[in-house]
Amino acid sequence: MSTASRSTSIQTADHKPAARRVRRKTSHLKDVPPTLELREALRDRCDQVAQRMDRSVPPTKDQIEQVAQRTLEEADLPEGYLGWTMVMLSSAFWRQSLSSVPPERRLFLLPHCLKHADGCPAEYDQFGMNCKECGACSIADFRGVAEEMGYRVLVAEGSPVVLKIIVGGYVDAVVGVACLNVLEKAIDKVLLAGIPCMAVPLLSSDCRNTKVDEAWVDQMIRTPYLPASQQTKSYVHLMRAASELFEPASIDELAPRIRDKTPLGGDAVTIEQIQSMDAIAATEHIAYDFLARGGKHSRPFITLAAYDAMLGSGCTDAKGAETVSSLPATVRRAAMSIETFHKASLVHDDIEDGDAYRYGQPAVHQRFGLPTAINVGDYLIGLGYRLLSRHESNDQVPAEARVDVLDTLANAHTRLAEGQGAELLWRDSTDRQLTPLDALKVYALKTSPAFEAALYSGIRLAGDAEAYVQPIRNYCRNLGVAFQILNDLGDFVGDEHNKLSVGSDLFGGRPTVLWALALEALSDDDRSLLLQLADREHDMPDAERLAIATRLYHKAGVFDTAMQLVDKHQARAEQIADELEPESLRRLLYFLVDTVLERPELPTPTVVSLGIVPTA
């Protein structure tokens, strides 16, 4: 939870916010009030405060925090209850919206740690735990009540699976039980998107045989259904629209295939299937299959949302689903083209980086070989441009707007290639010296252009965009740099979905700002040791090499300095957003900052026996 705030009030929606303050660690802000009496009194106070909150737009995490801080101060209660109070305030704010969603359109999310740790017979699948209803814990009781009312029930943790279910159109609201650590990570993005959500925090974060206020959970599940129209703006309709663009039917409508009509979907295409096809049609089929599979579709969402923001944000209102369905085909194809370029870059990046998996499946080059994969990436680039160059007689977007978007995409494409080229040359060089400034320049070229192209495309297709060109470029440069630094920090956590192990940047010899900061701050001896870790000829086990690098990074203050850089670039992006109109665009830019710049858990130093480090 951040101590920052764009505003100290959430009573009005259209105001220019104050700058954020520097973030702090939050572990000491996640205490649970120790007695039921105190918890009930504080919850009642939060209910009263929430009744006075503006319901036209979703409150940001920072705004909720400001109100929670004041609530605790007025009650003369310690700051340690801040996280718990924020959950109560947020739940109280969304209760009315959630009650307007029928139970069969609600998701009930339960944590694994409520189970009886010893001897639990439950099995797991891709979505979570399958409770056997053995009676050893309260999971089955809660689940039974929820399912009887019509809820979909999921025993799992984490926002990706929850957002996947929501964006898939299966549910429209979420109620959940989790510890404060999980709620901070899992529910934030759901709330930011304007999706009604209520939660009851666990009484501890022990992750084994935990307890919860069971009466509160039962009351939350039984929130009555009271039909009403949507009051609070929500991005869920646009998120669903972006995802639906890549369903087989939408792909065939917006980007009709020329060579092959084999149905898309199902399992990923295999080399055996491709070898049985007409050779000329094979490239098209591999490319379309990859386009239809995996991804968060955040870039096409940005394009659709930017277009909508410039025209009054009708897609986020009560009739958002209807408004989304009337988006011009050119706008939808532009959003699809952004993702198509992204998919092309992924095919090529996986080859250049030596990554074996993508979306939990073998990468394209692993399935079909390097030459075919390179060609598929090239095909996707051509498809991306074809999506925008195509003109229809009933096109609602002026031709000059499409030309401007094409020019922006071409510019973004060349800048991205320059950034990737700089990285590849550095990786192949025997000189591992790198300055932080050089690393940040590469980031600005590699990551920022995609955000810029997605935002500009939506704005330009909605009307004249000349006044937005430079502000959007500056905003995206800072957003992209901050995102890439966080991505580097995440390399010390790993990525289970893409089967990426911890330390892949270090082992892959990629130039990161973390590496540059370490070289700049370490002593000569430690710098020499770090450079030896990047030697391709070393014979040290990866785990030991990673432990030494982590220790050296901590010694150099790399992780703290990197987070300070993230805060600096985020503040710059927000300052640019502060000055932009209309308010709906400004809100979108804040939403992107809050959702894109997700802070990872930083690694702790590990004491290792260094032994003898091999020399070059």
Chunked mean pLDDT (size 10), the chain, 616 residues: 41 43 62 96 98 91 91 96 95 96 94 59 50 58 93 78 86 91 74 90 75 94 92 94 96 93 84 92 96 92 98 94 94 97 96 89 96 98 93 78 95 95 87 90 94 98 97 98 94 57 76 94 94 78 87 94 96 96 96 88 53 39
What would the DSSP string read from start to end of 64-78? HHHHHHHHHHHTT--
Instruction: Give residue 15's pLDDT.
Output: 42
397-406 core/surface letters (b: 16 or more CB in 10 A; e: else) = beeebbebbb
Nearest partner of 85 among 35, 30, 36, judged by Cα:
30
Instruction: Give residue 501's pLDDT.
Output: 60
What are the tokens at 580?
Answer: 């932009």
CA angle centred on 87, ends 82 and 93, rounded to 5°: 120
Are 174 and 156 in contact by the 8 Å Cβ rule? The answer is no
Residue 178 CB-half CA count within 13 A: 27
Range 398-616 classified under CATH 1.10.10.60: no
Instruction: Give residue 604's pLDDT.
Output: 60
**How many Å apart are CA 538 and CA 324, to the nearest integer?**
55
For 115, 173, 219, the CA distances from 152, given in Å and listed in that order, are 19, 10, 17
Nearest partner of 200 among 76, 4, 46, judged by Cα:
46
Q: β-pairing, 357-358 with 128-130?
A: unpaired
The CA-based dihedral angle spanning residues 33, 35, 41, 43, taken in that order and rounded to the nearest 10 degrees: 50
Task: Kindly report whether the peptide bond that precedes residue 224 is cis, defined as omega within 30 degrees of 0.
Answer: no
Are 69 and 79 in contact by the 8 Å Cβ rule? The answer is yes
Domain map (residue ranges) of the chain:
27-221, 398-616
The DSSP secondary-structure symbol of 236 reads H
What is the three-class DSSP state of 466?
helix
The CA-based dihedral angle spanning residues 248, 253, 259, 263, taken in that order and rounded to the nearest 10 degrees: 20
Nearest partner of 57 among 588, 577, 574, 578, judged by Cα:
588
Are 236 and 193 in contact by the 8 Å Cβ rule? The answer is yes
Phi and psi angles of residue 58, each rounded to the nearest 5 degrees, phi first: -65, 135
**How many Å apart are CA 316 and CA 587, to the nearest integer?**
12
**How many Å apart are CA 48 and CA 203, to the nearest integer?**
23
Residue in this structure with the two tokens 């039962």, named with its chain if needed? 218
Instruction: Give residue 93's pLDDT.
Output: 96
Instruction: Give residue 23's pLDDT.
Output: 53
The CA-based dihedral angle spanning residues 420, 348, 168, 63, taken in that order and rounded to the nearest 10 degrees: -10
The DSSP secondary-structure symbol of 100 reads T
CB atoms under 10 Å from CB of 95, counted, come to 15
Instruction: Give residue 444's pLDDT.
Output: 95
**How many Å apart are CA 369 and CA 283, to the nearest integer?**
12
Identify each DSSP E strand in 179-218 by its residue range: 197-201
365-382 core/surface letters (b: 16 or more CB in 10 A; e: else) = bbbbeeebbebbbebbbe
CB atoms under 10 Å from CB of 129, counted, come to 20
pTM: 0.87
What would the DSSP string read from start to end of 587-604? HHHHHHHHHH-PPPPPPP
**How many Å apart are CA 251 and CA 292, to the nearest integer?**
8
| DSSP H/E element including 212 | none
For 8, 401, 428, the CA distances from 411, given in Å and listed in that order, are 40, 15, 26
What would the DSSP string read from start to end of 355-371? --EETTEE-HHHHH-HH
Nearest partner of 305 among 573, 594, 57, 589, judged by Cα:
589
**How many Å apart are CA 159 and CA 183, to the nearest integer?**
9
| H helix intervals, 194-319 | 214-221, 236-244, 248-254, 271-275, 279-291, 298-310
Say what angle helices 583-596 and 448-462 make with each other, to 10 degrees.
160
Amino acid at the residue 130: N
Amino acid at the residue 152: R
Residue 466 CB-half CA count within 13 A: 2
Residue in this structure with the two tokens 């995102």, named with its chain if needed? 483
Contacts of 160 (CB under 8 A, 6+ apart): 497
**How many Å apart are CA 2 and CA 589, to the nearest integer?**
18
**How many Å apart are CA 130 and CA 122, to the nearest integer?**
6
- In three-state form (DSSP H/G/I as H, E/B as E, the rest C), the secondary structure along 132-159 is CCCCCCCHHHHHHHHHHHCCEEEECCCH
Distance of CA 97 to the CA centre of its chain: 24
